[in-house]
Chains A and B, each alone.
Chain A
Amino acid sequence: MRTGLVILTTASIIAATAALAHKGATGVVLERMQGMTALGDVVKELTPMMRGRTPFDADQVRAGADVMVTHAGQQMTSLFPEGSVQPVSKVLPSIWEDWDEFVELAEQLELRAEGLKLSADVGLAASQADQAASMMGGGMMGSDQAPAMGGGMSGSGDMMTVDMFATMPTDTAFAAVAQTCSACHQKFRAEDD
């Protein structure tokens, strides 16, 4: 299983490298695009499992989380030196104006990916005996998880510590990771034409 994943990841990196290089990315820009592709590949691979469409495999979650950790935090921010803009890159210059925020989000990704790994022992929310509406689901319709009218809306997730993930359903942890990706892309990635 693990070997299969490694082969798959390696193969996709090679394929992605060819595709990206072809578009003219070089140096750190190429390297970070490969990193982003690797992150996306993990998301794509784990999504059907998180949705309960394929059998749950804690090892596969942990392996995916490990890949994410290696592309997050310092590793990620080091690939965005000031002014590293190439035509193929979708980075917005605001990333260097709001550098601290980018660093925070990259570190948050690292933390949440580590959390995802811990949460692999818990399993999906749907498999939990005392399943309340999951943090990302249900919501609002009488759920006390999402206070009426925007209470706790300003990213209560910012406060998440790694320990909290150890008891969190895996799909909730996965959603938290995806939310970080989205928050960062919202701020620092240009939209497609």
Chain B
Amino acid sequence: MGIFRWVVGAGLLAGVGTVAATIVWPIGKEVEEIALVGDVNKGAYLARASGCIACHTNAEEGGAPLAGGAPLKTDFGTFYPPNLTTDPDYGMGSWSAEDFARAVRQGISPDGEPYYPTFTYPFYANFSDQDIADLWAAFQTVPPVGEAAPEHQVTFPFDQRWGLKLWRAAFLPEPNTASEPGRSEAWNRGKELVNGATHCAACHTPRNVAGARIISERFSGNANLPVGGKAPSILSGDLLAEGWTADDLAYALRSGITPSGDVFGGSMAEVVQFGTRFLTDDDLDAMATYIMDNEI
């Protein structure tokens, strides 16, 4: 009995110690100074491609651009994409370019807190300093909106942000965006976009109980999207079997129209409306080339 109590006590102590250590455990990497001059148009283009505008704008409710998005209901709680306008109190107006770089590439707030992975930062980890400078320049053009997005409604234990450090340690994937020799320029550009900025896998890959993508099942679809929707498989084999060509896919990303004469519904309609229809023909062709020719 005495020993039992000691063991439990030691266990509790160790547990508390582990939690305390986790809370103070530093995460992320040092951010070098972002000294490059950004190009507003390129940044706005990248923001479109990356879904910043789609997710952080509540178009449905007539919200101002980037002033905070529609709620995302997940198994872990309801998340409210925050205000990314230039407002100093409720947006990013008081941030430095380095704060922004860390938030986008590493998923860490200026206060050093890890973001929830509903923010698709894991896909942006390989953005170059120039990409960041361009985005940052573009975000400076957003009119301030002095209104906070609602706090996330997350239940215990997921409301404990330190837990996200464990999540990061266990699940944070590196985006596979590197060019491969021997593949065409279009294919490599497609790979960079699909696995990076446009983060197709965020919806088209199933997630485990911890909400992390199951990398081995990449692109095989997800029947349990946050908004209650379903994302079909975009494995090239499945798309081919349904009669898609790369050309069809590029056009669908532009227009929402599928080869059967149907149109995208669900959240893919939104992806096209606020994102992919603004991309260049070259980029859409590149994405389609990569997705269709991507034997996994």
Contact = CB atoms under 8 A, between A and B. Distances in A.
Contact of B278 (A44, A139, A185): A139
A103 interface: no
Contacts of A139: 48, 277-280
A54 interface: no
A149 interface: yes
Contacts of B141: 148-149
B269 A150 contact: no
Interface of A: 40-45, 47, 51, 136-142, 146, 148-151, 153-155, 175, 178-179, 181-183, 185-186, 189, 191-193
B261 A141 contact: no
B270 A149 contact: no
Interface in B37-82: 40-42, 44-45, 47-48, 53, 57, 59, 62-63, 65-66
B280 A51 contact: no
Contact of A140 (B230, B262, B278): B278
B53 A150 contact: yes
A63 B270 CA distance: 29
Contact of A182 (B48, B57, B264, B278): B264
B229 interface: yes
Contact of B255 (A151, A178, A185): A178
B232 interface: yes
Choose among B59, B63, B269, B274 the residue with the greatest number of A CB atoms under 10 Å from its CB.
Answer: B269
B281 interface: yes
Interface of B: 40-42, 44-45, 47-48, 53, 57, 59, 62-63, 65-66, 138-139, 141-142, 223, 229-230, 232, 251, 254-257, 259-267, 269-270, 272-274, 277-281
A51 B251 CA distance: 9
Contacts of B280: 138-139, 141
B279 A185 contact: no
Given A137-B254, A153-B59, A189 B265 contact: yes
Contacts of A51: 251
B69 to A, nearest CB: 11
Contacts of A141: 41-42, 45, 280
Given A150-B53, A153-B65, A182-B264, A191 B278 contact: no
B45 A140 contact: yes
B90 to A, nearest CB: 17
17 contacts: A40-B261, A43-B261, A51-B251, A136-B255, A136-B277, A137-B281, A141-B42, A146-B278, A148-B40, A153-B53, A154-B62, A178-B255, A178-B257, A181-B256, A182-B256, A182-B272, A186-B269
Given A141-B45, A149-B139, A191-B230, A185 B265 contact: yes
A94 B239 CA distance: 30
Contacts, number: 110
Contacts of A45: 261
Given A45-B261, A47-B251, A186-B264, 15 more contacts: A40-B260, A40-B261, A43-B261, A136-B254, A136-B277, A141-B280, A150-B65, A154-B63, A181-B263, A182-B263, A182-B272, A183-B269, A185-B264, A186-B265, A193-B223
Contacts of A175: 255
Choose among B57, B229, B259, B273 the residue with the greatest number of A CB atoms under 10 Å from its CB.
Answer: B273
Choose among B62, B254, B263 the residue with the greatest number of A CB atoms under 10 Å from its CB.
Answer: B263
A154 B273 CA distance: 10
A179 B256 contact: yes
B210 to A, nearest CB: 24
A192 B232 contact: yes
A193 B59 CA distance: 27
Contact of A192 (B48, B230, B254, B257): B230
Contacts of B139: 149
A4 to B, nearest CB: 18
B104 to A, nearest CB: 15
Given A40-B260, A47-B261, A186-B266, A153 B57 contact: yes
Interface pairs A-B: 8 shortest CB-CB: A44-B261, A185-B265, A150-B65, A139-B278, A186-B269, A40-B261, A148-B44, A182-B269
Contacts of B278: 139-140, 146
A149 B255 CA distance: 20
Nearest to B264: A182
Contacts of B254: 136-137
A185 B273 CA distance: 13
